Structure formats: structure tokens, C-alpha cells
Amino acid sequence: MGPKKSSGHFWVVLVATGLILGISAFGFTFRYYDFEKGTGDIAKIEKMVNDLRAAMNVDAVRQANIQKVMALIEKYNPKMPSDMRYNIANEVYEMSIKYTNLDVNLICATITHESAQSWNPKVTSPVGAMGLMQIMPGTGMFLAEVEGIPWVSPETVLFNPIYNIRLGCRYLSTLIDIYGVEGGLAAYNGGEKRASMWLAHNKANGILWPETQKYVPAILNLYRQFQN
């Protein structure tokens, strides 16, 4: 009697485990039974499973992109605290979703070049541009009003990496909408007037500022690197 009971218990556990594993792996096949509300209920369950699968795929893409940005930050600024690194990476991803003409690689390429490959949230240029995406205080004040960010001071807003990325991506996205990727980058660095003239003359040399002439291919080169 003892061995038979133990064997029966073993098979019960084995079957239950198989069912749990099957459901967890989403490999469970729903069969149509002649229940009172069977067909409708099974259709609802199948939809729930499909929706869950889709959500998991989206989350997997999100996590992969966040990990990629965090790895870049680790490369250029290994001393950045891990919580700030994660928050910045998450904001970069969120901006790539919000603005369809930006992607994670382009945003990262812009930040990398603008921050002189430091990813230092408090980096400042000789002409006064501030933060990760090197925003001038006057431009930042205007963008902050549009974004609904209280303008306390340039340092408070533009040295905040989340605000800086949010403002910079809004500005860059707007310029790319108007001038395309190369023209948008040129406008971001050297102003819209020069970018517009450059495009009107088929991107001829000598129209952009010397810095901007180097800026556009530098960003695009980083962009290609980060795509790999």
C-alpha cells in the first residue's frame, strides 16, 4: 500500500508541475470545451495571454535600450551614481518613444558629443551652454515654459539631467522636423539661419560655422557607432 500511495502522489505532483510550467511559458493550448460560457471565456483568456505577451515584448525592448544607455554612461562617466545612471537612461528611452524622429542612438550620440564625451550633467561650454545637451540659458528658459518646468535658475533646471534631456530632445526633435536630421543637427549647433542657408545651397562648404561643419559628421559618426 505504501509504495502505491507514494507513486500516485509522485504522478499528481508531476502533472501539476507540468501544468504550472506550461502556463508560465505561455505554451498552454486552449481547447474548446462544451462549457456553458466556454467559447467566450476562452477567447477572453487567449486575448489576455496575447496582450501579456505583447507587453512583455515591449518591456524587453525597453530594458534592452536602458541597459545599452547605462553601458554607454558607464563607459564615459564611470563615477556617476547608479541611480542617476538608470534615471538618465530611462529618460533617454522615454524621449525616443515620445519623439518618433529621435531614437536612443541619436540622442546618445548628441549627448556624448555635446558633453565632450563626459556625460557630466554639470558640464558647461566656454560660451555658456549648460548640461548634457548643452542648452543656452535663454533657449532653456523658453523650452522650460513650453514643457511646464518651473524656471528657478539656469543651474537648477539645466544641470538637472532629466530636465536637460527633456528640453534638449524637444528642441532637437522640432529642428529635425523642420530641417531633416543633418539640417536639424546643424541648426541645433549653429542656429537655424545658417542651417537653412546651408540646405538651400545643397549643403555647400563655407556656409556653416567651422564648428558646425565638423559637428554634424561627428554626431552622425557616433550615431553609426552606437547602432552596432
Contact 179, 163 (CB under 8 A): no
Give kind and range of the element (H or E) at residue 178.
Answer: helix 161-190
Active-site residue among 36, 91, 114, 182? 114
> Among 106, 76, 74, 80, which residue's Cα sits nearest to residue 93?
106
> Among 194, 165, 181, 167, which residue's Cα sits nearest to residue 223?
181
* CA 45 – CA 22 distance, rounded (Å): 15
* CA 132 – CA 163 distance, rounded (Å): 10
> Among 166, 192, 170, 165, which residue's Cα sits nearest to residue 179?
192
Nearby residues of 228 by Cβ (< 8 Å), 6 or more positions away: none
Is residue 114 flagged as an active site residue? yes
> Among 75, 68, 74, which residue's Cα sits nearest to residue 106?
68
For the annotated catalytic residues, the residue numbers are 114
